[in-house]
Every structure is written in structure tokens, then in C-alpha cells.
Structure 1
Amino acid sequence: MSSDLTHFWCPGALLALWCVSGGRGLLSANGENWAEMRQFTLLAFRKMGVGSGLIEKRIMAELDGRCSELDAEIDKNGKVTVSVEFFDLTVGSVINSLLIGKRFDENSKDEFLKIKKLFDDSSETFNIFDLNVPVWFLKWVVPWRFNLTWNARQNILTHVGKEALERLEKLKDGTYDLDSEDPKDLVDCFLAKMRSENEKGQDGHPGYTMDSLKLVLHDLWLAGQGTTATSLYVGFMKLVTHPSVVLKIQKELLKITEGSRNLTLQDRPNTPYLNATIAEIQRFTSVLNVNFWRINAEEISFRGFQVPACTMMTAQIGALHVNEQYFEDPEKFDPERFLRNEKLLQQLIPFGIGKRSCVGEQLARSELYLVLGNLLLRYDIRAHGTLPTNMDVFPYSSAKLPDTSGKFEFRKIRKM
């Protein structure tokens, strides 16, 4: 199938991704180019410390910065009101720092929140209808839907691409130098790789271009920000309505830290209840309702059906996580289900499975553990006013979108 024909009949699920990327990047890429970019990203993340103590330092530095703002308010008023913006900024700063070396502070957070608002607005209209109709239909029959999604993606591209382009110019005029052994961020990793491939001439890989870099940054920023922040927000929505769960977590954390140090990634083996709670939060949240469309490379047999090669298919992950065959009473928030039956963890796939699983899984798991655990270690957290039900407000969208109007009250936990 030619690329032009694929573009013309591309279903709405790929409209922004394909139109923006032309099949490059990570989310909408396929074949050898996708494999190359995925391998590069995994190696770059490893070089920057994802999966080691280095990423823990990045996450904790950001969390400490946000908590210092909370503490200043608590010192004045005895408590502070926290909204979804806190989780958005915390997670957004970590991924932004990892990708382009910049955190969001008072001078730049408005830019981030503007982009986040555009993305949220586009997500609200991105549903089963968009997943199945051709791009040309959306573009010409309901252009407002097409433009809403297109503009959100373009704004993310502009944001992440600006730093990359500025750094390339500095490399050219000699005001910036790359250290391939100690990269500042993913931009440094990519520019070093791009220079290396260019030096090989015709033997170099053609995928290392500035356009590809912007698309890789776009896909990682998009995937790494919203899902983790939403999981944290919904997690605290569930926790404040289940105080017994909070008490069990805090008891477990105080036992291993003695209330005198931060929770670290090395503590994971000793925090089974916190681990189970995070798993239940991810099961309940299940942010990606329907996975991205995939095309099978060869004919497959599935439950007696023969599926020919080049068939477009997807997985409804949200349905898997409420399957009563595996999760008894799935509407109930029950972390202990994972303690009663540890095999249930194998049925939980918030990051997908196989070759196309989330490339940022290790980063997301580290953020969820460190942010949620250390906040519960530091603060007494309660609901501020009446909380929304936190049910999916757009049940037919491609992603679960909770009502984010809920707020929390944080008070410092007195040291014993």
C-alpha cells in the first residue's frame, strides 16, 4: 500500500500522528525506522539514568521543589489546597527536563499549562468516531474536530522543537558542545547520534534528522506527561475516599523509613502494600482506553478466526482491566486483591505488552512510586470540598478522562 493511499484512508486514530509525523517518531512509525528510533530512545534513557539512581535524583529534585512551595503555604495557613495542576507540573517538569533539559518554573509554567489545556480539549473529542473514519472526512466534514487535534499536536511540536533547533544553531556557531558520554538530555543524545551518522555519509542511518528528533520528542512528551499525571490525580481521588488504605500505606512507609528519610526506589521490595495500591490505581485508572491501531505483518489465527496480513487492529485495554474473569468485583477499589493473588499483576498491562509496549515504562513506574509514596510520607491528605465521582467523563473517548475539578488539602505530618 502506498504512503499516499495510507494517508488518504488513514483512520482518525492516526490523523494527528500521521499528519504531523509522516510515519516518523515512535507512536505512528512502523518497520525499520520505528525499530531504530525505539532502540535509540531506550539506549538514550539508559544513558540518562532511567532505571538507575540518576533518574531518582531528577524526580526527587522536582518533587522537593514543588513540595517547598506547598510547605511555604502550609507554614502560613496550616494547610494548602492542591489541584490537578500540581501533578501536571510535577510530572511535566520531569519529562521536560529529561527531554530538553528544562523544568517548569514560575516563568515558564504558563506556557506548559496552555499546551496542556489544548491537549486536554482535543482529547475530549477524540473518541470511537475519530478512531474509525478517514482523515479526509474529519478534515472536510467536521474541520473543527480536525483542527482541535492538529493544533494541540502542533503546539507540543513547537514547544519541544524550539530547544532542539536553538541548540543545533549553537553547535554550528561553536557556542555549545556535546558530551556524548554525559548527555544533558535526550536532545543532546540525538544530536550526538545525528552527527555520528552524518559522518558516516551514505552508510549512516537516514532517520537521524531534525524532523525525526522533533517527532520523537513530541511522542515522548505526549505519552510521558498525561498518563502519569492522570494516574496520580485519580490515585489521590481514590485514596482520600479510602482513608484505611492511606493509613496502611503510611504505617508501612514509616516502618521502613522511621520517618527520617525519603522513600527511595531501593525500598520497593519492602513496600508490598504501596506496590499493590499503585497497581490498583493503574488498573482503575487505565488511562489508555483503546490502544493505537496496529497492522499485523502476517496472517494470524485468533480464537478460530483467520486474520489476514495488513489488517488494522487494536486492543481495548480498558476492558481488560475490568474483566470479571480476573478481577473480582472490578468496580471496587481494592489494593489487597494483588496481595491475595500476585498472579493478577500479569493481567495488568497499563503500559501495553510486547514490542510496542511503552518505551517510558521504567520512568513512569519510578515517578508513580516516588511521588505517591513520598507525598503520603510527608502529608496528611484530605478532600477539599465535595469531590467529583472521578468516573470517566467521556466514556467513548480513546483515553479515560476523569473530572479534574477535584481538590485536596495537604497538611504536614508531625514528626514523631
Structure 2
Amino acid sequence: MAFFVILGICLSCLIFFSLWNQHHSKGKLPPGPTPLPFVGNILQVDVKNINKSLSMLAKEYGSVFTVYLGMKPTVVLYGYEPLKEALIDRGDEFSGKMQSSLLSKGSQGLGITFSNGEIWKQTRRFSLMVLRSMGMGKKTIEDRIQEEVFYLLEALRKTNGSPCDPSYLLACVPCNVISAVIFQRRFDYNDEIFQEFMEHFYRTLKILASPWVQEKENKKSEFTMENLVITILDLFGAGTETTSSTMKYGLLLLLKHPEVTAKIQEEIARVIGRHRSPSMQDRNHMPYTDAVLHEIQRYIDFVPIPLSRKTTQDVEFRGYHIPKGTSVMTCLTSVLHDDKEFPHPEKFDPGHFLDERGNFKKSDYFMAFSAGRRACIGEGLARMEMFLILTSILQHFTLKPLVSPEDIDTTPVQTGLLSLPPSYELSFIPI
């Protein structure tokens, strides 16, 4: 019996290495570390610090290499040039999304995040059309954000300067903005339904109006109720978590760097004053604040490695052959923390986005929302929310930490997919 077990293992190893050699023969997949049978390169990748592992592999194998996370190969793109070429210059070829993760299984290949092919194209186009028709990128959506920020400020005043965790209130703003756009209503922050809604987005999907029910009998339509439900869930999940976590992390960094906070408030006093609400027109006259917001996103690196894409066809890329359907991992950290573009990338420094005259300096390396056709469709909305939230808070409050700035720990809580801020409390002292 033991003989047959050993024989089976040996045959499996031979088959695996044969397949691996076929992939890595001349003109095939990019180079990479030799994988072990069944587990691939899992033992060579530190799950708790994937970025560090990929950085070390990139130094050895170059900016395009292959790792096996199990039996299947994943091509890793590391650095600005390969990411730009794949995501922007050749976006169609790299626009697929892998469906192997637990998260994607829940979406059934529907919605925006995990869909592919015609479903993705039509759903994305339709979602953008609806969001734009309801005000995204226009004055109407700015008015909705400003209205919601007013309620945020009221809630912060009610804390009476007592220490509080800002997580919930910061999440209420983008969630209510999305709710106002999609459902045409907002919720009071103390509403029990809203509080439950914040924990379980899917519970509110029953209030979704059904203007697409003419589509019910159209068997070829991509606008099924299941797809619309998943799409709404995608919009709420991405639109709420990204903005709120970024703002929570941003406030923590400002507590750590009070000199940065002081400069923003000086700019607010000079450009906006105390007697009117901030508007998006102000951003063009506030280069330092704009630089801080960019630096917050660059520094925290919220999504270090987005969920894997896949090639939509056979691709010849930088001398290598990547077959259709191959998993492709894009390392955004390698761009956001590129030390040639951003000196001292591990340091929080708004100067990364300012020129020598103090003007805002745009960088092509800023890929906090990814890039190309699969970039976040809510980027414009998120930028508006973050600017209006930050300037409004600092216009009316002084941020008071519970410990001295030098004792504040800004180390992220790594979850594997996201780089989240640690838990903390602060006091909002009215100005």
C-alpha cells in the first residue's frame, strides 16, 4: 500500500513539473521561483506581508514574473511601466476578473466588481450613466455631499469634545450620499434601520425600485434583478468603505502630524473663511490641502494588491506569452511607493505632490484608484467627498489626540486585501 502511495506522489510531482516546464519553456510565461507540487510558491510568499515578498521576488526576477499560488500560475506586474502598459495602454487584454475567490463566488459573476465580458461592459456603462444622470460630477451631487457633511458636523458637535471613535460617523456620509443618489433618500444617523443597514447592506435592497422590470422577459438582457442587486451592493460596499476608511486614516495621520493640520487650516482660513461652506471650486485654490489628500491615499496604500485580473485573450507581453484566462496580479504598492517618484516613500510628506513653488504637482504614479478600464468608477465621487469632509471638519474643529503625537501608532492593520487604519479615538474641539 505504501508503495502505491509513494508512486502516486512521484507521478503527481512529475506531472506537475512537466506542466510547469511547458509553461516556462521559451516564449511562454515570465520567469519566477520554482514551485512545489500542489502548493506552488505559497511557502515563499509571506501572507502577512505580501508586498515585501513580491518586492524581493521582483528584485530577483524583474518587473514581470510568475508565481504559483497553488497549481495555477499568476503573472505579477511590479512597477509603474508594466502596470501602465497592461492597465492603460492594453487595457482590453487585461480587463478580465478572476472568479476563484470566496468574495467573487458570492457575486455569482454579476455586478461590476467581479463580472466579465458583456455583463461587465453593459453593467459598468449603465451604472456610470445612472450615476451621472443623478448628479455625479455635477453641482447636484456636490449639494448632496454638502448637505450630508452638515449632518456630520452636527453629530460631531454633539460629542461635546469627548473622545470618540470616528469610524461610524465617517462611514455615514458616503453611505448616505450613495443612498440619496440611488434610493432618493437619506437616513438619520441614529435610525436603527440605518445602523443595521450599515452592517448589512443587502437588507435594504428590498426598497429598490424596479424600473427595469420590462427586462424580466428579455432572456438576453444583462439587467436581471440579480445583477442589479449585486451592482447596488458593489456601489455601496466600495463607495462607503473606501472613503470612510481613507478619511479615518487621514485624521489619524493629521493627529500624528499637527504641523500639517495647521497648514491646512491656514489655507482654509485664507481661501474659504469661517462663514461659508467649502465647495469644490475651492480645491483649485488650495494646493496644499489637495496635496495632503493625495498623500494620505498614497501613503496608506488602501488596496495594496487589488483582486486579480485575468487576460481576456492570448497576450504577447514584454517578450512573454500569457495565455487567455491567466491570473494577473497588479501590485499598486510598487507604484505608490516608488522611491524615484516619491522620495522617502515610507514617510508621510505632502511635499510629494507639491512643486518648488508650492503648487500642486500631478503624478502619473498616483494609482490609488487603480487605472485603466477597471479603475474605480466612483473615483470622482470619492474625491469630492474626501475634500468636502476634510475641509469642513478642519474649518469647524480642532483635532485633539488622546496621547502625544509621537506616541501615535499609524501602522496599518493588514487584512490581506486592504490596508486598514488601527482603532483609535480623538476629540473634536469646536473652534
TM-score range, shorter chain: 0.7 to 0.9
Q: What does the per-residue CA deviation read over 1:259-282, in whole Å, with 9 as the maximum and x for residues that have no partner?
A: 221110111111111100000000
CA deviation profile, 1:208-238 (whole Å, cap 9, x unmatched): 1211111001111111111111110111111
Matched with 2:285 is 270
**Pairwise CA distance, 1:14:** 4.4
Q: Do residues 43 (structure 1) and 129 (structure 2) align?
A: yes
- The answer as to whether partners of 2:197 and 2:204 remain within 8 angstroms in 1 is no
Quote the residue 1:379 is aligned against.
Answer: 397
Gaps spanning 5+ residues in structure 2: where? 1-71, 75-97
Residue 156 of structure 1, aligned match among 193, 197, 201: 201
Q: Distance in 2 between matches of 1:81 and 1:264?
A: 29
For residue 350 of structure 1, report the CA deviation from its aligned partner: 1.0
What does residue 94 of structure 1 align with? 177
Does the Cα contact within 8 Å between 1:160 and 1:214 map onto a contact in 2? Answer: no
Please tell me whether the aligned partners of residues 248 and 421 of structure 2 are also in contact (alpha carbons under 8 angstroms).
no
Distance 2:413 2:286 in 1: 33
Counterpart of 2:139?
53
Amino acid at match of 2:412: D
C-alpha deviations, 1:131-174, integer Å up to 9, x for none? xxxxxxxxxxxxxxxxxxxxxxxx433x242222xx4xxxxxxx
1:398 maps onto 2:417 in alignment: yes
Note if 1:111 corresponds to 2:196: yes
1:1-400 → structure 2 map (5 Å cutoff): 14-74=100-160, 79-83=161-165, 84-100=167-183, 101-108=185-192, 109-113=194-198, 115=199, 155-157=200-202, 159-164=203-208, 167=209, 191-192=210-211, 194-195=212-213, 197=215, 202=218, 206-340=221-355, 345-385=363-403, 388-394=408-414, 397-400=416-419
**Structure 2 CA distance, aligned partners of 1:304 and 1:24?**
34
Amino acid at match of 2:195: D
Code of the aligned partner of 2:141? I
Distance 1:383 1:260, change over 3 A: same
Per the TM alignment, residue 13 of structure 1 is displaced from its structure 2 partner at its CA by: 7.3
* Root-mean-square deviation (Å): 2.4
Tell me, in whole angstroms, the C-alpha distance in 1 between the residues paired with 2:214 and 2:265: 49
Cα distance change on mapping 1:46 and 1:350 into 2, 3 Å: same
Q: Cα–Cα, structure 1 residues 228 and 326, in superposed 2: closer, same or farther, change >3 Å?
A: same
Q: CA 1:21 to 1:73, structure 2 compared with 1: closer, same or farther past 3 Å? A: closer
Q: Which of 344-353 and 264-273 deviates more?
A: 344-353
The separation in 2 between residues aligned to 1:205 and 1:262, in whole angstroms, is 48
Measured in 1, the distance between the counterparts of 2:321 and 2:399 equals 52
Q: In the aligned structure 2, how far is the partner of 1:391 from the partner of 1:102?
A: 34
Give the aligned residue type for 1:398: L
TM-score between both structures, scaled by the size of structure 2? 0.71
For residues 97 and 313 of structure 1, the distance between their equivalents in structure 2, rounded to whole angstroms, comes to 36
SS of the residue aligned with 2:413?
Answer: coil
Provide the aligned length of Structure 1 versus Structure 2: 329
Q: Provide the TM-score with structure 1 as the length reference.
A: 0.73
Aligned-pair distance for 1:196?
A: 5.3
Contact 1:249-1:273 within 8 A present in 2 as well: yes
CA shift, 1:343, in A, is 5.7
Unaligned segments of structure 1, at least 5 residues: 1-8, 116-154, 168-190
Conservation of the 8 A alpha-carbon contact between 1:379 and 1:412? yes
- 1:352 Cα deviation (Å)? 1.1
Note the alpha carbon deviations across 1:69-108, whole angstroms, 9 max, x for none.
Answer: 222443xxxx243312221222322223333334253123
Kindly indicate which of the two structures has a greater share of residues assigned to helix.
Answer: 1
- Identity between Structure 1 and Structure 2 (%): 27
Deviation at 1:289, TM superposition (A): 1.6
Residues 156 and 260 of structure 1, relative CA distance in 2, 3 Å threshold: closer
Q: What is the alpha-carbon distance in structure 2 between the residues aligned to residue 236 and residue 403 of structure 1?
A: 12
Work out whether residues 265 and 366 of structure 1, in 8 Å CA contact, stay in contact via their aligned partners in 2.
yes
Query: What amino acid sits opposite 1:243 in the alignment?
Result: P
Contact (CA 8 Å) 1:26, 1:37: kept in 2 or not? yes
Return the alpha-carbon distance in structure 2 between the equivalents of residues 63 and 259 of structure 1.
Answer: 15
Q: Report the CA distance between 1:319 and its aligned residue.
A: 3.0
2: CA distance, partners of 1:230 / 1:14: 26
